[in-house]
Amino acid sequence: MNNFNRIDVLLKRLGILKSREQAKLACEKGRITRDGKRLKPSSPIYIDDIIKIEFTDRIIAYKLINIPESKNVKKTKSKDYYQIVENYEHI
């Protein structure tokens, strides 16, 4: 498994979360799920996976379109790797 496939690394690389530590904590608190199952920070992620992230005020579901080959992804290019499939306010 490539290290970039880890959910915590990928969320940071794509700029969805600000840091790998933030992604790790979100996983540990059960705020990141795939198919209704909680993910560990080291969980692998694959193309076409739909990941739901529970933020303070909303829940957003992301579909992974591609996995970046490089370690650095520009902010302007990060949205080429995922699409938002659900975005609704958390009550």
Question: What residue spans define the domains of the chain?
Answer: 3-89
Q: What is the pLDDT of residue 71?
A: 81
User: 3-89, what's its fold?
Assistant: 3.10.290
Residue 87 CA to residue 12 CA, distance in Å, equals 19
User: How far apart are alpha carbons 67 and 2 in whole angstroms?
Assistant: 10
How does pLDDT run along the chain (91 residues), one tens digit per residue? 455 589 999 999 999 999 999 999 999 999 999 999 999 999 999 999 999 999 999 999 999 999 988 888 898 999 999 999 999 887 6
pLDDT of residue 4: 56
- Global pTM reads 0.88
Tokens of 51: 């990941």
Q: Which of 59, 58, 39 is nearest to 49 (CA)?
A: 39
